[in-house]
Structure 1
Amino acid sequence: MSSATPPPECPAHASPGVRTGTGLLPLSSAVGSADPRAAYRKLREEWGNVAKVELEPGVPAWLVMGYRELLTITRQEQLFSRDGRKWRHMYDGVVSPDSGLLPMMGWRASVIGSDGAEHRRLRAPLDDGVAKMDQRKVRRQVEALCTDLIARFSERGRADLVTEYATIVPMLSLASLFGLDSTEGEELLNALIALFGSADDSQAGNRQFEEILLDTVRERQKNPADDMTTVFINHPNLRNEAERLQSIVVMISAGNETVTAWIAHTLRLMLTDPRFAAQLHGGRLGVDDALDLALWREPPMNNMPARYALRDTELGGQFIRAGDCLILGHAAANDDPAIRTDDGQEEWGNRAHLAFSAGPHVCPAQVPARLITRTAVNTALHLLPGMKLSIPLEEVAWRPSPWTRVPVSLPAEFSASRIPAGKPARKPAGSGR
């Protein structure tokens, strides 16, 4: 994401085989297709485990789809850098200064844009902030929020589980952790949807997102509070206001979009996969196992930008030039035939998926992400009996993005009931750990 600067519906039936004038597959068309796995498998047949794709018209990149190749580029900082200033297409005129890719891919003076000792210095505040989090308190707050949201629509017997639930829970939960109110949380959400879309409004969304958080940082500098913003302000590793701001930007932006997707995909599996739903409702499948199954099938970051080759090298049989951009294909790597069997049984109880990436830049917020997602799914499972999807599965559309795969909507029907707002849901039988 660029610190200097950092949607319409996506067709449900976008063809995974549509190519541009360059002959390369646009990455957003694969993510937004009805079956991304089919798109990635076609790429693998054509290219092998490392395929050339298009990020936006005229901007190529390598999509790393092999499980072992992905581990290679995430673990070898001396060869594959996270520093966006190493991207040669930024300086040869291929990427426009107003490109919608820059909020996600441009360099930031943050943990995302650094390697080695500098990365470890900037990573420590994130790890320390998560470690200081009162998980029981957060779980109670998230459960009360989820119950309140469901109480708004439970008597109708129908709701859009994305727009009325999955998109709201993580942002309001994270906003509360950082001391923002619900109005500010909704403003952040709208800005983030634009930012992750990497389209024409991406840079404007990034600016709005940072302005809201900068106001909060400056307010907490004057009036400290018991929140995560104050924790970051006081951390000795963060040397100035810009580093404090960017650390908060990373935590909220990465946490919100991915948790939204994780909640939505788990609910979608409950609504559309009879075997999954039966195992979950019958108590044979714990919620944590269900969450990991969702991560295997639909990792929230289908593709993660990026690594940049520091010298000419070879990867997966492809010649990689110094300065080339490599995208981490989490979804494709989870589907790599080298680690998967046809029946998918290895998914149950298996956390070897790459949904949280790997190496030094592995997601620092796995604990709060799982806590919020588990609580949201548990609450919906208990309070919305008889859930079923209101539209055919093939009509589910996806937000446009080359990175995240989030449903535009998930209309569902369930048994209508009145739920008192603010009353936490009981933990259902078989709900897992």
Structure 2
Amino acid sequence: MSPGDLRVQYEELRRRWGPVAPVEILPGVAAWLLLDHQAALEVIWNERLFSSDARRWNAVTDGRLAADVPLLAMLGWRPAVSRLDLQEHRRQRQAVTDVLDHIDPRRLRRVVQQQADRLIDHWAPRASADLVADYTRPLAWAVFAHLLGFSPESIPALEALVNAATDTADDARYAEAELLEAVRRLLNARVTTPRADLASWMAHATTLTDVEIAHNLAQILYFGAPGTINWVGNALRLLLSDRHVNASVATGRLTPSDVLDQTLMDDPPVPNIAGRWATQDIMFAGHAIHAGDLLIPCLVAANTDPAIHGSGAVHTRTRAHLAWGTGAHGCPAKDMARLIAEAAMDVALRRLAELRPAIPDSVVATRQSLWCSGPVALPVVFSPTDPEQHTEALHELPAALPVPERTRIAEAAPGEAPKRWGWWNSMTGW
């Protein structure tokens, strides 16, 4: 389904229900879909009336939702920054932000550029590629695995687990448990041997518990790699399919960053924000919302709301989109994500001369779920070029941040018991 098809559906829902529409996200699982930009803002901003804490969900508290429903992998409660409110949210957000601040933007850009060049070196001479399978997917997973501290060999398993959870497959809850177990093993290793990665900094430079760290790192995997794959994929698709955009980039009227912004507006890689829950019975946008009802801000609909999108030229640069969220729950890693996406776009456009689609855009399949939207494949052709030999010149990616100087073990008070993994607590969900 194309972004245009979705806009038609959302317009039909707006005409029938107004800014908030009752929907089923699974058979028998009701929710309110927020179609209006202002309605989405009100729900995102107002923590007092609309909570991020999924333990409020009346479908669960009333026993109407099975404990193993696939949606709980993404909508269920977890002790992570995205699922907390008020002081607990601020405490974790500050810890996560402090750790992300240790990433050197210049080093991170170099990581992305070097991995992107290596990938292109493999297929540049053949003058054709699938920009998803051959570029955006391996690039995003290599960069995020490297940042967190996972080995390249672990990437296929991590990717499979994240896909199962974000696609809300039947084994989503099992995939979530396996992913958390993989993070736990990584953290155990970094407690004794810190390295230049986010896992080490989270373990040694924050006061978060082990379980909190594991869930926050898992959240980066859930949204970081898939979001980057789909964001860059959607931007490249726009560039390939829209002659106006292509010509504007070629003549310098638009930059790759502009194309990325337009994509966030028209075709965001994460179509929906993963839920808010009403804290009390209220009337909202003409509807009776009950305490514990699930509300889902639909970014695709809100970003294309005529009230902000207008009827003029659609390719004017704007950052009025809600792709990063906003307010207290705005994405703490948005600057890092933008840097990665911009570097990926820059390398692709620098290396791939006369880039053009190999198939019509109308037959490009889209991966659609509540939490992911991007091309399944993006076949292209371009002018053949010789490799630049990045593969041979570099054996491993450079570090994007330093090794923590002081360790948690060294700072522990004499006789203090180490943190223990109450791992069963993290898997109960409710």
TM-score normalised by L of structure 1:
0.87
Alignment check: 8 A CA contact 1:304 1:328 kept: yes
Aligned partner letter, 2:255: G
Residue 223 of structure 1 pairs with residue 223 of structure 2: no
* Counterpart for residue 174 of structure 2: 204
* Counterpart for residue 124 of structure 2: 154
Q: Deviation digits for residues 192-240 of structure 1, max 9, x if unmatched?
A: 11111012132232222222211111100111112111110123331x2
Q: How does 1:309-348 map to 2 (within 5 A)?
A: 309-345=278-314, 348=316
Whole-Å separation in 2 of the counterparts to 1:380 and 1:203: 36
* Counterpart for residue 408 of structure 2: none
Residue 350 of structure 1 pairs with residue 310 of structure 2: no
Residue 175 of structure 1 pairs with residue 136 of structure 2: no
* Counterpart for residue 228 of structure 2: 259
Say what the alpha-carbon RMSD is for the aligned residues. 1.6
Aligned partner letter, 1:259: T
Alignment check: 8 A CA contact 1:197 1:399 kept: no
Aligned partner letter, 2:142: L
Whole-Å separation in 2 of the counterparts to 1:153 and 1:176: 23
* Counterpart for residue 23 of structure 1: none
**Relative to structure 1, is the Cα distance of residues 400 and 199 closer, same or farther in structure 2, using a 3 angstrom cutoff?**
farther
Deviation at 1:179, TM superposition (A): 1.7
The number of aligned residues is 392
Alignment check: 8 A CA contact 2:14 2:20 kept: yes
Alignment check: 8 A CA contact 2:3 2:267 kept: no
**Relative to structure 1, is the Cα distance of residues 158 and 194 closer, same or farther in structure 2, using a 3 angstrom cutoff?**
same
Alignment check: 8 A CA contact 2:239 2:259 kept: no
**Relative to structure 1, is the Cα distance of residues 207 and 400 closer, same or farther in structure 2, using a 3 angstrom cutoff?**
farther
Aligned partner letter, 1:230: S
Residue 380 of structure 1 pairs with residue 348 of structure 2: yes
Alignment check: 8 A CA contact 2:125 2:384 kept: yes
Q: Deviation digits for residues 233-258 of structure 1, max 9, x if unmatched?
A: 123331x2101111211222221121
Alignment check: 8 A CA contact 2:127 2:383 kept: yes
- Structure 1 stretches of 5 or more lacking a match? 1-11, 13-31, 425-433
* Counterpart for residue 26 of structure 2: 56
Whole-Å separation in 1 of the counterparts to 2:353 and 2:372: 29
Q: Deviation digits for residues 324-368 of structure 1, max 9, x if unmatched?
A: 0000111100111211211245x5332121111112111111111
Runs of 4+ in 1 over 3 A off after TM superposition: none
Q: How does 1:397-412 map to 2 (within 5 A)?
A: 397-412=365-380
Residue 396 of structure 1 pairs with residue 364 of structure 2: yes
Residue 120 of structure 1 pairs with residue 97 of structure 2: no
Whole-Å separation in 2 of the counterparts to 1:143 and 1:33: 29
Alignment check: 8 A CA contact 1:399 1:406 kept: yes
Deviation at 1:92, TM superposition (A): 2.6
- Structure 2 stretches of 5 or more lacking a match? 394-430
Alignment check: 8 A CA contact 2:278 2:294 kept: yes
Aligned partner letter, 1:166: T
Alignment check: 8 A CA contact 2:70 2:170 kept: yes
**Relative to structure 1, is the Cα distance of residues 110 and 295 closer, same or farther in structure 2, using a 3 angstrom cutoff?**
same
Give 3-state SS (helix, strand or coil) of 1:229's partner: helix
Whole-Å separation in 1 of the counterparts to 2:263 and 2:77: 31
**Relative to structure 1, is the Cα distance of residues 176 and 311 closer, same or farther in structure 2, using a 3 angstrom cutoff?**
same
Deviation at 1:400, TM superposition (A): 4.0
Deviation at 1:322, TM superposition (A): 0.8
TM-score normalised by L of structure 2:
0.88
Whole-Å separation in 1 of the counterparts to 2:325 and 2:277: 16
Aligned partner letter, 1:75: W
* Counterpart for residue 284 of structure 1: 253
Q: Deviation digits for residues 19-54 of structure 1, max 9, x if unmatched?
A: xxxxxxxxxxxxx77721111111111111101111
Higher helix share: 2
Residue 73 of structure 1 pairs with residue 61 of structure 2: no
* Counterpart for residue 40 of structure 1: 10
Give 3-state SS (helix, strand or coil) of 1:167's partner: helix
Q: How does 1:413-424 map to 2 (within 5 A)?
A: 413-422=381-390
Whole-Å separation in 2 of the counterparts to 1:186 and 1:420: 27
